[in-house]
Amino acid sequence: MKEKKILSDVVIRNTAGRRPLSDVIQRNNHKQQTPIKNREVIKPVQKKKEVEYVIKEPTIHRENATVGDLNKTKNLVKKTAWVSIPVGIILVVYLVISILFSGAELKITPKSEQLEVSASLNAKKGDAKTSFAFETVSLSEEGSKLVASTGTKDVSEKATGRVVIYNAYSTATQKLIKDTRLETTDGKIYRIVSNIVVPGLKTVNGETIPGSVEVSVYADKPGEQYNIGLADFTITGFKGDPRYSKFYARSKGEIKGGYVGSVQVASPDAVNATRNELRTVIKDSLLRQISSQIPESFVLFKEASEITFETKDDLKNESGVIVKEEGTYTGILLPKNLLSEEILKKANYSMKDVDATTLKNTESLVFMFDGANESLLKATSISFTLKGTAIVEALVDTEKLKKDIAGKPRSDFNKLLADYKGIKTATLSMNPFWARYIPTNEEKITIVQTSDR
C-alpha cells in the first residue's frame, strides 16, 4: 500500500497575496516526497489582530509543587487577608479615637518656701469676701436615753418656759423685780425668775420699735393645767396704770413641766452618768458633721470653736426616766485667701521673682485667742495670734497659662514657660503621643498642680 504523505503543523488561514503551495513544497529528483515537517517552512506574514485579555487568578509556580501544596498556599493567602482586615480596622478606629479625644495634660509644681509665723491679728464679723472678716457656723443636736426606774415618788412641779417682755410705753427703761406676775387672757399667773430692765422705745429707719427683753418664767401653781403653748400676757401690777396696755409679754415656746402626782424615779448617779455619755456622743457627732460642712475656701481652727450643752427637762414614763441633752457647736470661719494675705503682710514676706504667693497649710498653725472672749456665737470681733511653720507657695494663673500655650508647637513648650517664674517644674503629656501641636481648644488642656512639700 502506498504510503500517504503527511502535511502537518501548517495551517493556512488566508491565501490571499501568498505564494502558491507549489513554491513552498519541493520534490526531490528521486520522486520521493520528504515529510513537510522536515522541510524549512516559511511562516506567512500575519495581519495584526485584536487580542482579548483574560485575567486569571495568579498562579504560584513552584518546582515539583503538588495539588496539596497549592491548596495550602491558597489557604495561607486567605488567612493573611482575614488577619490584615481586622488589624486595619483597629488601626483606623484608633486613629479616629485619637483625633476625637485629643488633649494635653500639664503637670506643674509651683515654687515653695517655709515661713515661720508669729502674727497677732484682728477680725470683725461681716462679709469675708470684701475684707478680713470672720463668719460663724453653728450646729445643734439633741440626744436622749432611758434610765431604768428605781422606784416612784410623789411630786408637785410647776411649769416653766421663756417669754419676751415688750415696752411700747416710752423711750425710758422700766425695771421689773423678781417674781413680777404675768397673766394670760384666761387668768393663769406666771412669774419672772429674776430682776430685769426692759429697754425703751427706739426709732429705726423712721419706724418706732418697742424695747424688749427675754426672761424665764414659772407657773404660780403646780399642775398640768399650767402647761400651755404660745400665749400673750399682761403685767398684773400695772392694772389701773397707763402702762398696763403698753407693756405686754409673749411666750417663745411651750411652757411645760407642770405635774402633780406619782412619778418614776431613777438613781441620781445613773442619771448623771447617762447625761455625760449623751454629751460625749453629741460632741463626737457634731465634730463629724461640722468637718464635712466647712467650705473649701475657709479654715476653722479647733481652738476657735466651742460646744455648749443644755440640759432638757427629763421625761418620766412607766419604765423610768428619759434623760435629754442638747449640744450646740459654734465655730469661727476665716477666709483662707485673706488670712494668707494678712499673715504675709505682717511678716513682710516676698518670694524672689514671684509676684503673688499664698499659704498652703494655714490649718496647721496654732490658734490662740488674745485675752478673754465672749460667747463665740455672739462675738462681733476677735483678736488672736497664729504661730507655727507655714508653706508659702507661688500662685500660678492657670487660665492665662492655658491661653498662652493653646495651639502652640509642642517644641516651643519650654520657651512658653519662661515667663512663669513661679513654676519650679512642668511636664507636658499629649494625646495622641505623636501630636506636634498643643490643642487650640483650651477645654482640652488640663493643668494639674502638685506640691513638693
Using a 10 angstrom Cβ sphere, with 0-12 exposed, 13-18 middle and 19 or more buried, the burial of residue 292 is: exposed
**Alpha carbon 77 to chain centroid distance?**
57
Dist CA 369 CA 287 (whole Å): 20
pLDDT band with cut points at 50, 70 and 90 for residue 289: very high
pLDDT band with cut points at 50, 70 and 90 for residue 36: very low
Residue 358 has pLDDT above 80, yes or no: yes
Enumerate the domain spans of the chain. Answer: 101-112+394-449, 120-144+265-388, 154-261
Contact 24, 10 (CB under 8 A): no
pLDDT, the chain, mean: 83
Q: Within 10 Å of residue 30's Cβ, how many Cβ atoms? A: 6
Using a 10 angstrom Cβ sphere, with 0-12 exposed, 13-18 middle and 19 or more buried, the burial of residue 165 is: buried
pLDDT value for 30: 43
Dist CA 270 CA 268 (whole Å): 5
In 3D, which of 344, 205, 323 has the Cα closest to residue 264?
A: 323
Q: Within 10 Å of residue 248's Cβ, how many Cβ atoms? A: 19
Chain segment 84-126, per-residue pLDDT in tens: 666 667 666 666 655 666 799 999 999 999 999 999 999 988 7
Three cell numbers, residue 303: 481652738
pLDDT band with cut points at 50, 70 and 90 for residue 276: very high
pLDDT value for 95: 63
In 3D, which of 235, 256, 239 has the Cα closest to residue 166?
A: 235
pLDDT value for 314: 79
Residue 12 has pLDDT above 50, yes or no: no
pLDDT value for 71: 58
| Average pLDDT, integer, range 333-340 | 92
Angstrom distances, CA of residue 64 to CA of 58, 59, 60, 76, 251? 18, 14, 12, 19, 117
pLDDT band with cut points at 50, 70 and 90 for residue 24: very low
pLDDT value for 33: 47
**3-class DSSP state of 264:** strand
Residue 20 has pLDDT above 80, yes or no: no
**Alpha carbon 128 to chain centroid distance?**
22
pLDDT band with cut points at 50, 70 and 90 for residue 195: very high
Opening angle at CA 312, ends 309 and 318, nearest 5: 140
Dist CA 334 CA 447 (whole Å): 28
